[in-house]
Amino acid sequence: MNNPRGRRLGIWTAALLFAAVSVVVGCRLADTDGITPVPQLLAFLPWLLAPAGVGLALALLTRWWAGTVWAAVVLGLLAWFIEPYGKSGEPDGTPIASLRVLTSNVEFGWATDSLITAVRREDPDVVFVVECETTCDAALKKTFGTAYPYRQAVESSGSIGSVLLSRFPLRGTDGIPATMGMPGAVADVDGHAVRLQLAHPMPPLPGQIDVWRRELGALRDFAADAEGATILAGDFNASQDHAAFRDILDTGLRDAARLAGSDRTPTWPARTAPAIGAQIDHVLVSRDFSAGDARFLDLADTDHRALVVDITLHRRG
């Protein structure tokens, strides 16, 4: 680029792009979620390759060699962090039970009819329903009272209501206190106790980051204290690029979607997924489980995709 004015503009544009991406990547490197807007941008970390790539093109075009080195460092770190996070591997013990788990955020109950259709089609054994307000709750009771005779719920309006449906007998637990309902239970799966816990912390909205971090911390404490076979599922409002979510994985729980080879498949926002989005809906399992398949369902009238996973409980070796 021979035009000095155009060269300066290109360099400044590239520098601004690199600076913005570097702040987010720096927080990821430092294992912190930072402050707004970093937590929101971390959810879309893989897509930061786009502005970094534009900056690299401008650096090359303007022969800004320091910027080219800057771009190489940023792009290298992004590529490193896109790799799956958390433990994997197969359990040592013999298989003793298989079950199908479905989790769905029905967005204030608007997607209840779509969820009912999906449950009939997918035939899961355990269903985690997030943002299931009173109308949704009533519809699920009426439709699945026989097929899923066991339930544990936080009954409320708006986004607070949540429901756990099960074919297996349930013994209710205290759940996790939070802004929105997070019920829990212990299921009797063919004579084996399996701890079930629904997850729905506050989203990382501006001004609510401390609440989001605290409620993810409560889920982390639950995971650290849980003994035996455990399933923690729902809308975590966090991806593997959030330090608060990685803290949960660091307790030893494993992401079933990752075990099934679908760790980066977006679940939100449904309108742009799977092309662009973040995987914030998860089924996390203890090391007692293996995962055979993970499927993402597009439901009408909700901004989340549902997740269905087939998992197998193993006897601890």
- State pLDDT tens for residues 177-205: 999 999 999 999 999 999 999 999 999 99
132 assigned to some structural domain:
yes
Per-residue pLDDT tens over the stretch 121-131: 999 999 999 99
Alpha helices in 94-178 (DSSP H): 112-122, 134-144
87 assigned to some structural domain:
no
Length in residues, the chain: 317
300 assigned to some structural domain:
yes
Answer with the one of 34, 59, 81 that is the final residue of a domain.
81
Identify the bridge partners of residue 159 per DSSP, sorted by sequence position.
none
Rounded to an integer, the average pLDDT of 97-116 is 98
User: Among residues 16, 32, 25, which one has the least CA distance to residue 46?
Assistant: 25
Same structural domain for residues 214 and 122? yes
- pLDDT for 233: 98
**Portion of the chain with pLDDT greater than 70, in percent:** 99
Q: pLDDT confidence of 294, banded at 50, 70, 90? A: very high
- pLDDT for 92: 84
Summary mean pLDDT of the chain: 96
Q: pLDDT confidence of 161, banded at 50, 70, 90? A: very high
Answer with the one of 25, 54, 81 that is the final residue of a domain.
81
Same structural domain for residues 277 and 225? yes
126 assigned to some structural domain:
yes
DSSP codes of every residue in 1-24:
---HHHHHHHHHHHHHHHHHHHHH
Q: Output b/e per residue, 110-126; b: 16+ Cβ within 10 A.
A: bbbbbbbebbeeeebbb
Residue 82 has pLDDT above 70, yes or no: yes
Tell me the C-alpha to C-alpha distance, in Å, between residue 283 and each of 126, 141, 210, 234.
Answer: 11, 23, 24, 7
Q: Quote the domain boundaries for residue 25.
A: 4-81
User: Among residues 88, 126, 78, 3, which one has the least CA distance to residue 241?
Assistant: 78
Q: How many domains does the chain have?
A: 2
Answer with the one of 49, 81, 113 that is the final residue of a domain.
81
Same structural domain for residues 11 and 67? yes
User: Among residues 204, 197, 273, which one has the least CA distance to residue 238?
Assistant: 204
- Give the CATH number of the domain where residue 137 resides: 3.60.10.10
Rounded to an integer, the average pLDDT of 251-262 is 96
- pLDDT for 2: 65
Predicted structure pTM score: 0.95
Identify the bridge partners of residue 101 per DSSP, sorted by sequence position.
126, 309
